[in-house]
Chain A
Amino acid sequence: MFNSYKINTLEFYPEKCVGCGMCWTVCPHAVFGQEIRKGDNILVKAKSRAVLVDKEACMECGACQFNCPSGAIKVQSGVGCAAAMIKAALTGRPETCGDGGCGCGDRVADRPSQCRGSEK
């Protein structure tokens, strides 16, 4: 109770990891770490590989999956915006950040500083 964020859709398949380092570079919540790869597969040259260290912190932004060259990460990415979801539920339209929950929609340019970016 009082924590709805214990479960998310992030899945990691370490056997597919090529150790490029993209996931721990792009993740804004340090969900991934890296470890020294044990030399069991001589075909894989990379010395390190990703490890899932804080799955619960995942916000499903999708950056890791999108930048993973070997398909080792799966996540149903989306924007955690209640305004967008409630609006979608009420109007029956698809739920996207760009489609108007927070007012982002019709005028595209929306409340830019709002949906989680601000000036970064």
Chain B
Amino acid sequence: MAITQTVSEIDYRDRLDHFLARWSWKRNEHVVEPGLYALGGPKKESPVFVTANYTLSFDALRSALKGIDCYILVINTYGINVWCAAGKGTFGTDELSNRIAATDLTNIVSHRKLILPQLGAPGVDAFEVTKRTGFKVEYGPIRAADLPEYLKAGKATAEMRKVTFPVHDRIVLIPVELVAVLLPTIIIAIATFLTVGFVSALAAITAVLAGTVLFPLLMPYLPTKDYSSKGLLLGLLAALPFAGYTYLRHSPANPWTAASMLTFLLIMPPITAYLALNFTGSTPYPSRTGVRKEIFTYIPIISGMAAVGLVILVAMAVLRFLKVI
């Protein structure tokens, strides 16, 4: 099987591809042909790195290996990044073993060592790969950017082995979050505008933006560990200006004012909290056990809040309608 030559430079087409991937544009088409790639001029002794056939994964790896002659074994994960694919098992023992055989790697390199990304480990049984192929699996650092230092030192530092979620990693997820909620948000905003009014439509959009834009940004700074409680708090903060505006506009306050203030305070936080809860899968911390517990704890609370808020909203609309008549 042929070895494809690749380079470590990222050009404008790659950047455009990354940009589109971040915006969910044709998500299943950001793929690299699986197989063996040569970076620079590798020899029989050159290291072999393994990655997924998602362009962002492959490009992160090749750009990090600038100036290093090596082989890159791209395995078929159907265009999914290493960690997700490992979780699904597609970045796994079978595919890796089969790809080693298909590319005739045994006859291309003289050594028997593969360097895998650490986050591939949930899908790869290192000892089983050795048993099947003769290749020893070495787990490199989490981030491709740490590879040059890793190669120099011959091992990963404790820091390289720990996953982090810095602001950059959180910001790049925002576009995908936005695209996912775009259509329902537009529909809800229009419906709210037509039935309740402009301020309420703005409140709906604000609650969604709090959950999709502000939440990823502010996540580490919001108190409590649970995503839903963080989201409830953020949603409440987002609702305060609307409640305050209502209070000031209808001063002196009467039961009617209080009721409209309540609708903002009861409906906005659940929207933001729900979106925050749904962000769990995009972050590198929560366990399934914990997320399940969160769902059971908070879904009743947030649906209850939203239901009460909607009942008030409907009751107000009915009263207003009756008064008009």
Residues on A lying within 8 angstroms of B by beta carbon are 2-9, 22, 24-30, 57-63, 66-67, 69, 76-86, 89, 96-98, 101-104, 107-120
Q: List the B side residues contacting A29 at CB < 8 Å.
A: 162-163, 285
Contact partner of B79 (CB less than 8 A), chosen from A5, A8, A108, A119, is A108
In this complex, the interface size class of chain B, counting residues with CB under 8 Å from chain A, is 35 or more
B313 at the binding interface (Cβ < 8 Å):
no
Residue from B24, B124, B180, B289 within 8 A of A66 (CB atoms): B124
Provide the residues of chain A in CB contact with B60, threshold 8 Å: 119-120
Q: Considering the chains assembled together, what is the distance between the CA atoms of A109 and B77 in angstroms? A: 9
Which chain B positions have C-beta within 8 A of A26? 118, 121, 139
27 pairs across A/B with beta carbons < 8 Å?
A: A4-B290, A5-B226, A5-B285, A5-B290, A7-B289, A25-B161, A26-B118, A28-B118, A29-B162, A69-B127, A79-B281, A80-B280, A82-B227, A97-B88, A102-B278, A107-B27, A108-B79, A108-B80, A109-B78, A109-B79, A110-B27, A112-B21, A112-B30, A112-B56, A115-B84, A115-B281, A119-B81
Which of A58, A109, A113 touches B172 (beta carbons < 8 Å)?
A: A113
Contact check, B288 vs A80: say whether CB atoms are below 8 A apart.
Answer: yes
Chain B window 115-152, contacts with chain A (Cβ cutoff 8 Å), 1 for yes, 0 for no: 00111011111110000000000010011100000000
* Alpha-carbon gap, A107 to B25, bound state (A): 13
Chain B, residues 291-308, CB within 8 Å of chain A (1/0): the string is: 111110101000000000
Measured CA separation A58–B56 after assembly (Å): 27
Using Cβ atoms and an 8 Å threshold, which residues of chain A touch B54?
112
CA distance A116 to B279 in the complex (A): 10
Taking a contact as CB atoms under 8 Å apart, the answer to whether B284 and A78 are in contact is no
Q: Does B173 contact A (CB under 8 A)?
A: yes
Are B119 and A117 neighbours in the complex by a CB distance under 8 Å?
yes
Tell me if B288 and A119 are in contact (CB < 8 A). no
The interface residues of chain B lying within 8 Å CB-to-CB of A101 are 281
A96 to B253, CA, bound (A): 50
Residues of B within 8 A of A76 (CB): 288-289
Closest CB-CB distance, B294 to chain A, in whole Å? 4
- Closest B residue to A80 using CB positions: B286
Establish whether residues A102 and B284, one from each chain, have CB atoms under 8 Å apart when the complex forms: no
Determine whether the beta carbon of B118 is less than 8 Å from that of A25: yes
Please, which residues of chain B bring their CB within 8 A of the CB of A4? Answer: 225-226, 290-291, 293-294, 297
Contact for B84 among A57, A66, A117, CB less than 8 A: A117
Which of B60, B142, B294, B297 has the most chain A CB within a 10 Å cutoff?
B294
Of A27, A30, A113, A117, which one neighbours B22 at CB under 8 angstroms? A113
The 6 A-B residue pairs with the shortest CB-CB distance in the complex, in nearest-first order: A81-B281, A109-B28, A117-B83, A117-B81, A80-B286, A78-B288
* Interface status of B105 (Cβ within 8 A of chain A): no
Given contacts A76-B289, A111-B24, A116-B281, 4 further A-B contacts (CB under 8 A): A22-B126, A67-B124, A83-B280, A112-B79
Cβ 8 A contact of B281, one of A60, A84, A118: A84
> B158 within 8 Å of A by Cβ?
yes
